[in-house]
Structure 1
Amino acid sequence: MTSAAAAPQALTEVLRAGGGSVAERVDRALALLLEQLGMQVSYVSVFRGDDRVVTHSRSVPHGPVLPAGTAHPVAETLCHLVATGRLEPLVADARRHPLIASHPHTGAFGIRGYASVPLRLGGRVAGAVCVASTAPAPGLGARDENILRAVAGHVADLLGDVRDTEPGDPAAPPGARSLATADLEAVTRPLLRLMQQATGLEATYLTLHDEATDELVVTYADETADLGFAEGTSVSWPASLCRRTIGGGGACVTDVQERWADCAVARQAGVNTWVSVPVRDHEGRLIGTLCGGSRADVPLDGRAESVVRGVAGLIAEQLAREAAHLAATSRARDLQQRVEILRDSAERDPLTGLANRAGITRWMTAALPRLRGDDRTLMVAFLDLDGFKPVNDTYGHAVGDEVLRLFGERLQAVGRAEDLRGRLGGDEFVIAAVLPAAADRHGWASRVRGITDVLLGDIRVTASLGVAAVTDPATDIGDLIHRADEAMYRDKQQRHALPAPC
């Protein structure tokens, strides 16, 4: 027996000796495959109709990731080229291979070393077992191919014959049951990390375009440095760095501060390198952007741009698959729901359920233009709890949080559904409403004052109140809140004889 044949036989005996569930045993086989071949990621995929679906995957620490559930058109995959005999099983360097050097997956995943053998289930080719690496693998040889085939045979024994397995059948391999299992987040997050590693950028993002407001909403982020674009952050599309980059006809800008000195978003984030490519649907409509940036100058070559465009294409494919799976829901409605969920989370105070500072600003920004004509007035009430710190100090923060939550409930009972109720932070709250000309402004303020106390057991906490009213739609939001804050402090002075602030 040759040494090349002896190695996989010994490996097979080790694999068969282990117990555990099918998923655990497949995972153990993939881990041994990485160890034996010295690669970075190993995975099992099955062919389901016109798609190749990853069912099991294993990566080395900090290596590339291909999540279970990831799906691509089978005809566009490297493993399909191997299964149909057009590509040899072992590829030492994909970038130098005449057939796959320009293949989209080679660029998108940064593949250099690659190996694949067919997975045979029930006597037919039903998928593949593959390994890959972002570094060349010049040492791949007959021994490695034999090991790969031995593992593929072992995995086939574990998975069994799936010829009659239908989506939803518990016997179906994980990830093969439905394309719905390959959700956008599971696919996108590893791709953002891959893009960051391939380009050297400090942060990478997927944004979705909210057509109703013409804003980009940061949906997923992978950051090693905080550039100020947390998940849920929204930026006006016309004013965005992505719009400027894409509108300039390129994908990479390495002198942002110099080129776009007038861009407020660039100044605030402090970025000097920005990359952005559009993510479009099959009709060419803008879905969002794949983007990233760094405060430092990051030299980006054609390969980096190729990676970004390849990743954008994969994400666009996944969005299209989700839209197809949810046939009863239109693409626009599905994406709009995602945007609304993210925005609601980003603009809501988790303790009280009221709007947070970002939500307050957004509401007032939308309310001020409504003051044009009809003599409407924007009323803003600023409330500050009296003696709240002693409650925290005496009874603990859990009791203090309950007081804040109960006060938030009291605010919810005031006014109309469309009025604003928010928590600026700490023990400071805001209520606001746009009132028509005939409305009783003093009556509105009196109703707000009627809820300026909260009772929790023997603990009674009151609130000081200040009100500001404006009719000018050009009013600065910060100045408006400051005026209400000053009125609140005057109320606190009168009620508690506090000294005037310096």
Structure 2
Amino acid sequence: MTGHAKRLAAVLKRLEVAPEVSTRLEAVVRPLLKLLEEVTGLHSTYFTMIDEIGQVQTVIYARNTGRLIIPEGLTVPWQDTLCRRAVLEGRRYTQDVASCWGDSAAARELGLKTYLSEPIRLIDDALYGTLCGASDEAIPVTAEAQQYLTLFGQLISRYIESERLLNLLATENRTLAQHANTDPLTGIANRRALLHELGQRLDQSAQEDRLLHVAFIDLDGFKAINDRFGHDAGDRFLIEMANRLKAGCRADDLVARYGGDEFVVVRQAEADSAAALDAFKRYLEGLTAGEFHACDDLIDYPGASVGVIATSPRQHDTHTVLQLCDAAMYERKQARRMGR
């Protein structure tokens, strides 16, 4: 193994034992700034971000161990930076800044003599920032050290890209999960979400020795609405019904579309009594009654049939709970048909 290869292996080994893997860019960049100082001999090493639209460059992380201080948070016009000139000219290194860019006011003010810069480009070749080293002394930087600078720049670029990909995947996963648990027509929880959330609430209620009130809502006469006003109006009616249920229920109630013209509402019980069950049922029946705007039509709806049960603290079977609710709803439907 050559001397260069041995040194590269040692540097990479140092990176392996650097701070644990983190989603923060800082945890990657700061160890590299220290390594860059060691391989170049420059006492100021720093990482910048470039806003080409706003035309500014900002020092994000910096390491200063000598007289020259490059402050973190420093923002300068992009047009006047040595980084921009280095990128345009393809000049990554000089130990005689004055002869190269003597007209730079910032360089003169800082007393820069040695300057080293590597552009950080992303996969689409967009310029993200720079990895730099500087000194107020003329310090020779070997070709080998410059290769490390390029390597470090590539490591940062790949890390940024991987973070962007992970963030994109996380966003997509959240979107997919939301779609998987949301009824596409009404925007409320769907059957899948209902079964999952109801199971969790049943377990929690058992642990706390509390009851749930679970209501099954069937929209009587919905087929007649579709037949008379059309399916677009029927869809609009379902959307308006879901909105009314959501707005009329408590913030911690679970409101879901079970399917077709059926909805379910789950509420933490405040009282274990027939009166409390009946009050909840009557409230929901009243909530579902009234005028609904469906496309260009106004539907005067008499209200849905609602069946409500109180769960037992030992009940964990969501399907059994829903079957009992469904049965209670059909009893209520028959009673309404008989005018009770």
Under a length normalisation based on structure 1, what TM-score does the superposition of the two structures give? 0.34
More helix by share: 2
Please say which structure displays the higher CA radius of gyration: 2
